[in-house]
Structure 1
C-alpha cells in the first residue's frame, strides 16, 4: 500500500442515508459503503461520508469543498431526464432527483478544479452524464451483468472485463484481463466530453472510463464488494492518493 500522508481528505458520497422503502437494499449498499470507508481509513485517509439526497447540491458542494479526492458510490438509477431519455424503461426503480443534481454538480466541479475523482457503478454513470454523455437505460435480464430474482446479497455476479493495456486502470488493477463483480442493468452509452472508454465487458459494453487529461476515473463494477478480488479497491484508492499528492505539489 502506498504510504499516504495523513492530511489527505477523502469525501465518500452516497445516494441517501436511509431507504425506509427498501431495507434489504439499504443494508446491502451500506455494507459496500462501509467497506470503502474502512479501507480508505486503514490506508491513511481522513474520510468524510455524505448522503447526496439528504444534503442537496449546495450543501454537498460546501461540505466537500476542501476534499483532496472524491469517491461517488453506487445506488439507484439516475433520472433519465438528465441524459435525454424518458421514464418507463424496464427495471426502473425509485429515483433520487436531489442526489442526481448534487452528485452531478460535484462531478462537474471536480472537472473544473482537476480534483481526483473515482466513480463506482452509479458514480461511474454520474461522471459520464455530468460531462454530457448518455446511458443505456436497460441491458435486459439476460445481459449477465447481475443476478436476477435472487436475494439482494446474491445480486453481484463475477465476470471478466478487458482493459486497455495502456490505461491507468490496467496499471492499478494489475493487468488487462480482470475479473470483477457487478450488479447493474444500465451502461454508459455515448461518452461525455473528454472521456475515453478503457474497459469493456464480454458483450462490448463500457465497464471503465478515464478522462483524457484529468484524474477522473469511473468503473461500472464493484471493487468495494467483499466478494471482489483482493486488492482492487486498495489499488484504486492508492491511485487516488497519488493523484491527490500530485495536485498538492502542483498547488504548492
Structure 2
C-alpha cells in the first residue's frame, strides 16, 4: 500500500479583521493552492503560523513530506538587519516570521522539499542570511498600486536561469521565459548562503531562487493566482518534490 504524501501549507494568519478585502484574496489564493495540491495526490494541512505558538507550528509541520510557504505580510526588518519606517510598511507578524524562518532552515538541514511563494520566497532568503530590498517605490512594474485587490496583480515575464539542479528542472517544465502574476513591493537583495538566482525580471530583480543542494525553491510571483498560467503551481511543486532531486539533496 502506498502511503499518502503529506504537505504542510503554511500561511501567516487566518484572521485579518483590519484588512478584510486583502484577507479574502489571500484566503482564495490559499484555497487554490490546497485544491491543486490535493488534486496532485497530497494530503494537505494548512497551518496559520501567527495564530498559534512557534512550537506548535514547528510540531505540526515536523513530519510533513513537503512544505509550502505562502505569501502575506512583510517580514519584520530586524530579521535581516534593517530598520523600520520604510515606505509602504504595514503590520508585521513576528511569530509567523520566527516559525517560518525556522521551517526554512530546517528544510535545508533535512533536505525536506520546500516551495516559497512571494513572502515565502523572501523567508527562504532571509532564513539563510540574505537581505531584502525594503520597497520598490511607486510605479513599480511588480504590482498595481491603487487598484482594487482583485486587480493588484501585475502580469510580466521572467527569464529562468540555469545553474542548479532545481533551476534546470524548472526550465525543463516551464521553458526559458515564463509569464507570471506578481504583487510585491519588496524583493531579494543579497542572496542567502547556498542559494542561486533561478529567475530574473526585465529590470534585474530576482524573481526566483534555488538552493544549490537542498530541494528548496522560492518564487516571487503567485502561481496559485487565477490569472497564472494553468498548471504553473503544480509544476513548481513537482520541481521541488521530484524523487531524484530529493534523493540528491
Q: Tell me the TM-score normalised to structure 1 length.
A: 0.93
Which of 71, 74, 89 is matched with 1:92 structurally?
89
- Alpha-carbon contact 1:117-1:216 (below 8 Å) kept: yes
Matches within 5 A, 1:103-122: 103-122=100-119
Matches within 5 A, 1:147-158: 147-158=144-155
Match of 1:202 in 2: 202
Instruction: Give deviations 1:123-163, integer Å, cap 9, x for gaps.
Output: 00000000000000001112200001011111001001010
SS class of match (1:63): helix
What is the CA-CA distance between 1:176 and the residue it aligns to? 0.9
Which of 79, 84, 88 is matched with 1:82 structurally?
79
Q: Tell me the TM-score normalised to structure 2 length.
A: 0.94
What is the CA-CA distance between 1:178 and the residue it aligns to? 0.7
What is the CA-CA distance between 1:27 and the residue it aligns to? 0.2
Match of 1:21 in 2: 18
SS class of match (2:203): coil
In structure 1, stretches of 5+ residues that fail to align are none
Runs of 4+ in 1 over 6 A off after TM superposition: none
In structure 2, stretches of 5+ residues that fail to align are none
Distance in 2, matches of 1:172 and 1:183, equals: 23
Distance in 2, matches of 1:69 and 1:55, equals: 20
Match of 1:228 in 2: 228
